[in-house]
Amino acid sequence: MGTNQIYDLNRTGYRVWQLLQEGSAADAICSRLREEFDVDQSVASNELDTLLRLLSAEGLIEAESDADGPAT
């Protein structure tokens, strides 16, 4: 990373980061968050989408396109 930035994630954000490192897709991460944090589908999906956009905007992750669906 060439930004000289420090990023701080809360417990949920850190869990998303771990699942991304394992290669999990966004839909699988959303399911895991729902199970592990007992959160509603729409809340989990919206919050995950926001975090992924922020991580992408900071250049910390890159979207991968899937032949069967949209990029995650």
Taking only the tens place, the pLDDT of each residue in 9-53 is 999 999 999 999 999 999 999 999 999 999 999 999 999 999 999
Please, which residues bridge with residue 69 across strands?
66
Residue 67 clears pLDDT 50, i.e. is over it? no
Is 0.95 surpassed by the pTM of this model? Answer: no
- Rounded to 5 degrees, φ, ψ at 47 are -65, -40
Q: Quick check: 72 and 64 in contact, CB under 8 A?
A: yes
- The pLDDT value given to residue 46: 96
**In 1-72, where do the E strands start and end?**
none
Q: CA Rg, the chain, in Å?
A: 12
- Read off the pLDDT band of 70 (50, 70, 90): very low
What single DSSP character describes residue 23? T
What single DSSP character describes residue 60? S
